[in-house]
Structure 1
Amino acid sequence: MPEFYYLLDAPVKSIAECGEELLREVEHFRQTAHEKKRPIIFIGHSFGGIIIKKAIVIALSRPNYKSYLPIAAATKGIVFLGTPHDGSPSSYVGQLLVRCGFYMGSSSGIMDSLGHHSDELRDLHSEFGMVYDKEKICFYEAYPTRMFGLPIPLLVVPKDSATFGMHGEILTTDHSGLNKYSDATDTNYLTIVRALRGMIEKDKAAADIEDCLAHLKPADYKAMLTKVREPLENTCNWIEPELDQFLRQGTPSGGLIISGGPGTGKSVLARFVIEYLRKKKVSVSYFLFKDEVQQKTTAQAALATLIVQILRENTDLYPLIREFHLERRAINQDWTLELLWQAFAILISHRSLSTIFVLDALDECEGSSQIKLLEKFSERDNHFASHFITITRPLDQFPMHIYRQIDLNNRDEVCNSVKILINTEVEAYFQSTTFTQSTRDAVRAHLCEHAGTMFVWVVLVIKHLNRFKRSSPVKLLTELRSLPVKLLEIYEELFTRYLQDYGPSIKKMLPWILYARRPLKVSEVEEAFAVQDFKDRGETEEEVWDAEKWKPSDLKGELKERFGALVIITDHTSEIRLIHQSLRGALLDPRDPPTKLAQICKPPNEEHAEIASVCLEYLALPQFGSLKSLDIGPSGFQYQTRTGFRKQGPFLEYAAQNWPYHARQAGSDNPVVLRHFKHLSTCPGENIDLAKQVWSLSRNVRFSLGDSPVMLASSVGLEQLSIALVNDGADINQLTGDKILLDRQIPVNDAGIYGFTPLHHAASQKHPDVVQALLDANADPTIKDAKGHTPLEVLSSRSFFARTGSSHTNESQIVQLLDQAIEKWKETQRATALEGEEKAVKSDGSILENSTDDTHTRGGAGQEG
C-alpha cells in the first residue's frame, strides 16, 4: 500500500477530512478494472484505525460519495492495532499518545475530538457497526509505553477502548511496538500474520458460499413477500395465540397446517405469520408458491430457496453441504430434487438450527414435484415436521396425522375479518359518490350476508361495481344482487359478459396474461402486440416495421375496459396480473369436457406456439441486427447490460429468455415455431448473437459469439428443432448466424471463432439425437476445436462427474455414435487414399510403358540408320 500523508497536516483537518483523503488515495491506486477487483485488508495503528472507520462509513452511507462504494465492497477485513475506539483515558496520556504516533503522522490537532468517552468517537463507532459487517480484529498492548526512558503510568490505549465490544487479542509489547517487529519469527508478527490469513481464508469461504447460493438458483423470496397485500388492521391477530401455542409445544408436537378454500386470505395470513414470528425473534425461512413465475413454483425452487435462507443466517453450516455444491458445480448441472432434499435434511437436522419454515400455497406447487414433496413429508422417519407451518388449500395426500390443523373455512374469526374488509372497502367506494346512507348500508349488508370467509369475492365485487358509481341506487343494487355468490360462478359470469362485448380482444390478450412465464409489464405487452399485428398483417401488406405505428394506443385503458375487475395492473411495476390465483386455476382447468372458462383460449400448445412465434419475430427485427453486442462482465455490469437491452426494446429480454420455454410447451417440432425460427436463422448473425446473449444473462453464463442457429437451438434444450434445421439443410459446422443454408455454398467443415462446431456442442450437451442428425449430414467427427479436442474428447472431458442415470445413457449412445463415425471416416479416408494410390500406380505404369516404347523406337531407328 502507498504511503499516505493525510495526517501530516492534521492540525487543520478533521477526522472526516482525513477519511475522505484516505479514500481518494486508495481510489488513485485502483484505476483499472482488475485493480478495482483486488480485495483489501486495512491495517490501522492508533488513530489510523479511526480514520479507516471513518472512510468506510463515508463510502457506505454518504450519497455524495458513491464512487467509493467499490472500495468498501472490496474491503474484506480490518486489523486495528491499539486503536482508541473509545478515546484516550486522559488528556495527559492522549498528548503523549500523539507523540508516540507522530511517526505515523498523528498530531494533536485532532485530539479535541478524541478524548476519553468522546461523543464523536462513540457516534462513529455506532455508524461503523451499522454499515460494516465483515471481518475485523483488534489488538491491544500489554505494557505501558516508555518515553524518555520513563514508563507512562497508564496504558496508552487500554483493552476496553482498544476493543470496545469487538474481538480482541493481546500483543506482548507497548503501544508504540504494536506495528514494529524484529523479524519474521517475532511472536507478535506471527500473531498478526495468522489473523490476516484467517481473514483471507474466511473471504475465500464466503466467496464459496456465495457461489453455492447463486448455483442453487433461489427465488427472490423477499420480493415474493412484498407482493402479498399487507393485512388490514385486526384481521389476522386472531392467529397469534395459535402460533404462541405452536412455539411453546416444541419439536415433538408435530407441524401446523392452515387450510382454507380459494380467496380465504391464506397468503395475507402467511405474510402475517412470517412477520409475527420475526417479531418474536424466531428464525424464519419461507417460500410462497404464488409467485406466478412458473419455473419458481416447483418443489426444487422451494427447497433451494429455503436452503439459501438457512445458509445466509448460518454460514457455518455450509461445510455440511459443500461436497454437494462442488459436485454440481463441477458438472455444471442444476440441483435435483433428491439432492436438494438430502441437503435440506442434513441442515435441518443439525442441533444448532432452530428455524421455522413457512410454506404458502403448497396446493399451487407444480404437479409432479408437489407429489414428490408430499411423499417426503409423509415419510415415517420425517423427524422435522414440527419445523413447518404450511398454508394451503385442503390436500388429500397431506400427512395430517403429523400436523395440527386450522381450518379457515370454519373460523368465526375469519368471517369477522372479512367484515372488517367489507367496512373498509365500502367506505372507500362511497367516499366520492352521492349515494345515500341507506344505499351504503344495503351494499354492506348484502356483502356481509354472502361473503362468508371469501376476501377475494368482496374485492372482486367492489371492483366490478366501480363501473356503476354514476348509476342510480336501484341499478347499483340490482347489479350487486345479480352477481353470483360463489367464486367460480362470479368468474364465469363476468367473463361471459365481457366476452359478449370484447370477445376477439379478450381472446388475443388473455393468453399473454395466462401463459406468460412471468407477469409481463404493460410496455412489454405493447411491443408484443405490435409484433403480433405486424406479423399477421404486415407480411401480407408489405408494411415496414414501425413500433409506434403498430403499438396499441392505450393498452392500460383497453385492459381495464375489456377485463374489468378480473385483471389488475400493479402500481409500481405496471405488471399485468389476474386478480387471484384461483382465477388462473379455473382458466387452466384441465378437466374433460372443459369448463366455460377453460374454453376461452385455444389449446395451450397453440397459444404457446403463437407466443413463441411472436418472440422469435421480435428477435428477428432489423433494429436488433445492428445493435452492438456487449460482453458480459460481473453482476453489476450485467445489470447495466440488461438495462441497456430494455432501452433498446422492452420486450427483448422476455423474448430472448423465454421463447425456448414456449417452444417446448408448443411441441419441439411444432411447424409454427419451426417456420419462425427459420426466419430468425436467415437474419444477420448479430440477431442470433443478441438472442443468445440476452438468454445467457438469466443463467449467469458466458455466451459464444457466432453461434449458429443449430447450436442456439441445442443450447436452449430444443434438440428436435436442431434436428429439423439440419434435416432442412442448415450448415452443420458454420458458427456464424448468417448464410446458414447449404445452398449458399458454405464449406461444411468451417471452424468458427473457437473452432467449436455444432457436433462439439451437441456432444458436450449430451444430445444423442442431434449428434445422429449431424453425423447423417456428414459432419466431420475428427475435426478439432481451438484446444485440439475432437467432439469425443470434449464429451469425455465433461463427463467425469456424471456417470449415472439418463446422462450416462445419453453419453454411452454418443460415444458409440462417434466411435462408429470415426471408424467410418477413417475407412473413407483409407479408401480414398487407396484409390489415390491405385490411380498413381496406373499412372506410373502407363508412363513407364510409354517410355519403353519410345526407347525402342528411338533405338531401332538409330541402329537402322
Structure 2
Amino acid sequence: MAGDPDFKGQLDDLVVRSIAPRDGTCVCATVTLRTLMPEEQLLARLQHASKAFLYRYDSAFHGVTPLYEDAGGAHCDVVAVPGLASHAIGSWKAPAGNDLWLRDWLSNDIPNIRVLLYGYDTKLLKSNSRSSVEDLGRRLLESLTAFRTSDKTERRPIILLGHSLGGLLIKEASLSRSSFAANSDPSQALVHAARSPASTPAHRLLSQTCCGLLFFGVPQLGLRSEKLASVVAGQPNQALIRALVVDDESEPSDFLARMSDDFARCFQGRLRVVSIYERRLSATVEMQPDGTLRKSGPAVLMVTKKSATSTGLTAVPDEDIIPLDADHSGLVKFESRRDDAYVVVKERIKSLVSGAASWADDCR
C-alpha cells in the first residue's frame, strides 16, 4: 500500500481467505475486509495503492474464479454456478459471517478437489442485456472450456453444482456442445444438430468428463414469481424472465419444456443427478416507491418439488432427491460445518467425487 499511505488506516479486519493457482502463470486470492468506502472507490484505491505490482482487483467475480485447490493434487473439479441476479460469492455464503462453504469447508472435508466458482450478470433492474438462457449457458461452456484448457486440466473429471438459474445454464452448456450425439440414436443426433452446429474437441471434452450434477432448486419446469415479469417489463432482459416464470396455469414456458425434453433424451442413463428442493416459502420481490426492489411480496413456494426434480434422467424409484427445510435462497446457505443440511450436501458431493475417481480409473 506504499502508493497510498493513508489508505491502510481506512481498512479493518482484512483477512486473506484463499490463494489458488490460475492457469499456471498467476494466483487468485479472495479476501474479506471492512471499510466505509463505497465499493467502486475501494477498488480504485486498491488498484492505485498497488500500482507497482501486477495486481488486479474485482468484487463481482464474473467468469471463472478458483477458490481452492488441494496442495496434494486435484483429481476432480467441483464447479458452482449461482442463480438469477445473484452475487457469485454471496449466493453461497453463510447467513452470518464470511464463511463460504465451497471454499472454507469443502477444502477440509473432501480431499483432492479443486473448487471453481462461476459468476455472471443477470441483475433485474436497469439491465441492458438481451442475454437468453442459451447465451448464458454457452458463455459458461466457453469460460469453463477455456479455463481448463489453459492449465491443461481439460480431461479432469468435473462435478457441476447449480443453484436455480445456474442449473439451467449447466443444462444448456451440456446441450450446446455435447459429444453424446455420436453414440446416440438418430433422434438425439437431430437435437444436437440443431443446438450445437460448431462443436469442437475441447467443447466435447467438457461433456465427456462431466461425472455428476447437483441441482439446488433448479426450475426445470419454471419458477413461481408473477411479480418478476412486471419488474422487468419493457427492459431488454424481459424475454429471459418470461422464459423462467410459469404461466397463469402454472405451465412452463415452451423454452423450458423443450430444454427438459432435449436434456432427458440426450443424457438419460449417462449422468448421475442429485436434485435438492425447498420446503419453505420465499418472499417475492416488489418494486418500492424509491425504485428499488425488496422481498416484501407474498410468500410462495418459488420452485415446486415437481419443477426441481423433473430431470427426466432416471425412473422415479431411482431418483436421488433431497428436501431441505429452507427457502429458495437458503438452499445453498449453511450456518456451519455442523449444519445438518451442509452435512447432507457434503456427503452427496463426496459421493459424486468418489464416482468421478472411479470413472477416471476406468478411462486409464
Normalising by structure 2, what TM-score? 0.50
Counterpart check, 1:181 vs 2:334: yes
- Select the residue among 112, 128, 144 that pairs with 2:281: 144
Alignment deviations for residues 384-412 of structure 1 (CA, whole Å, 9 cap, x no partner): xxxxxxxxxxxxxxxxxxxxxxxxxxxxx
| Contact 1:30 1:36 survives alignment (8 Å) | yes
- Select the residue among 107, 130, 151 that pairs with 1:12: 130
Which stretches of structure 1, 4 residues or more, deviate above 4 A after TM superposition?
Answer: 94-98, 147-151
Q: Kindly tell me: are residues 153 and 33 of structure 1, through their superposed partners in 2, closer, same or farther at Cα, counting changes over 3 Å? A: closer
Equivalent position of 2:348 in the other structure: 195
- Select the residue among 230, 244, 265 that pairs with 1:114: 244
Counterpart check, 1:86 vs 2:239: no
Aligned-partner Cα distance in 2 for 1:134–1:149: 36
2:211 alignment partner, SS class = strand
Alignment deviations for residues 591-628 of structure 1 (CA, whole Å, 9 cap, x no partner): xxxxxxxxxxxxxxxxxxxxxxxxxxxxxxxxxxxxxx
Counterpart check, 1:170 vs 2:170: no
Alignment deviations for residues 431-476 of structure 1 (CA, whole Å, 9 cap, x no partner): xxxxxxxxxxxxxxxxxxxxxxxxxxxxxxxxxxxxxxxxxxxxxx
Structure 1 residue 150: Cα displacement: 5.3
Note the 1:8-157 alignment, pairs <5 A. Answer: 11-32=129-150, 34-60=152-178, 61=192, 62-66=196-200, 67-89=202-224, 91-92=226-227, 94-95=228-229, 108-116=238-246, 117-132=252-267, 133-146=270-283, 152-157=298-303
Aligned-partner Cα distance in 2 for 1:97–1:71: 36
**What code does the residue aligned with 2:283 have?**
R
**What code does the residue aligned with 1:4 have?**
G
Q: Kindly tell me: are residues 35 and 14 of structure 1, through their superposed partners in 2, closer, same or farther at Cα, counting changes over 3 Å? A: same
Structure 1 residue 97: Cα displacement: 11
Structure 1 residue 180: Cα displacement: 1.2
Question: For this pair of structures, how many residues does the alignment match?
Answer: 202
Structure 1 residue 44: Cα displacement: 1.0
Aligned-partner Cα distance in 2 for 1:36–1:96: 42
Aligned-partner Cα distance in 2 for 1:155–1:10: 29
Which structure's relative contact order is higher, taking Cα pairs within 8 Å and 6+ residues apart? 2
Structure 1 residue 143: Cα displacement: 0.4
1:64 alignment partner, SS class = coil
Identify unmatched segments of 5+ residues in structure 2: 1-115, 179-191, 247-251, 285-293, 313-318
| Contact 2:218 2:303 survives alignment (8 Å) | yes
Identify unmatched segments of 5+ residues in structure 1: 99-106, 212-633, 635-865
**What code does the residue aligned with 2:349 have?**
L
Aligned-partner Cα distance in 2 for 1:71–1:115: 29
Aligned-partner Cα distance in 1 for 2:160–2:121: 16
Aligned-partner Cα distance in 1 for 2:130–2:138: 14
Aligned-partner Cα distance in 2 for 1:197–1:203: 10
Structure 1 residue 172: Cα displacement: 1.2
2:303 alignment partner, SS class = coil
Note the 1:249-328 alignment, pairs <5 A. Answer: none
| Contact 2:154 2:206 survives alignment (8 Å) | yes
Structure 1 residue 154: Cα displacement: 2.1
Structure 1 residue 140: Cα displacement: 0.7
Aligned-partner Cα distance in 2 for 1:96–1:160: 25
Structure 1 residue 95: Cα displacement: 4.9
Q: Report which of the two structures shows the higher radius of gyration computed on alpha carbons.
A: 1
Structure 1 residue 129: Cα displacement: 1.4
Q: Kindly tell me: are residues 197 and 151 of structure 1, through their superposed partners in 2, closer, same or farther at Cα, counting changes over 3 Å? A: farther
Aligned-partner Cα distance in 2 for 1:16–1:10: 17
Equivalent position of 1:858 in the other structure: none
- Percentage of matched positions with identical amino acids: 26
Q: Kindly tell me: are residues 35 and 198 of structure 1, through their superposed partners in 2, closer, same or farther at Cα, counting changes over 3 Å? A: same
1:168 alignment partner, SS class = strand
Normalising by structure 1, what TM-score? 0.22
Equivalent position of 1:826 in the other structure: none
1:42 alignment partner, SS class = strand
Answer 1 or 2: which has greater helix percent: 1
Counterpart check, 1:160 vs 2:303: no
| Contact 2:157 2:357 survives alignment (8 Å) | no
Answer 1 or 2: which has greater strand percent: 2
1:77 alignment partner, SS class = strand
